[in-house]
Amino acid sequence: MLILRVATGVSLATAAHLAADFSHTSQLLERCLIIGVVVLLWIGLWTPIAALLQAVILIAIINAGHRFDPSLLVAAALGLALAMLGPGAWSLDAQLFGRKRIV
């Protein structure tokens, strides 16, 4: 799960960097939101919420862009998969709330 959280965060950071227009300072709030989501994913805090936000952000990037990039869709699917799987054993969620296993 740690590898999945890191890969999801890296895919969001990469997609946001490639889709960003750095000539406008009005996108500062959006960049801060993306950085916050990436940090939450990497440390494993509020993982299902952060993963859903990641998927929503990537779908918004797809809709706002003028070109369709399949890698953005794959990264959004990665976020949805992480939201359904949960944070895993090596996360702050597991340390704070306990690890819940469905058997």
Confirm if 62 and 72 have CB atoms less than 8 A apart. Answer: yes
Instruction: Name 44's Cβ contacts closer than 8 Å, sequence gap at least 6.
Output: 2, 5, 87, 88, 90, 91, 92, 93, 94
Give the start-to-end residue ranges of the domains of the chain. Answer: 2-97
Q: State pTM to two decimals.
A: 0.80
Would you give the distance in Å from CA 12 to the centre of its chain?
5
pLDDT digits (tens, 9 = 90+) for 69-94: 888 888 899 999 989 887 777 777 77
pLDDT digits (tens, 9 = 90+) for 26-67: 677 778 888 899 999 889 888 889 999 999 988 888 888 766
Q: Which residue has the higher pLDDT, 83 or 22?
A: 83
Whether residue 101 has pLDDT greater than 70: no
Predicted pLDDT at 50: 92
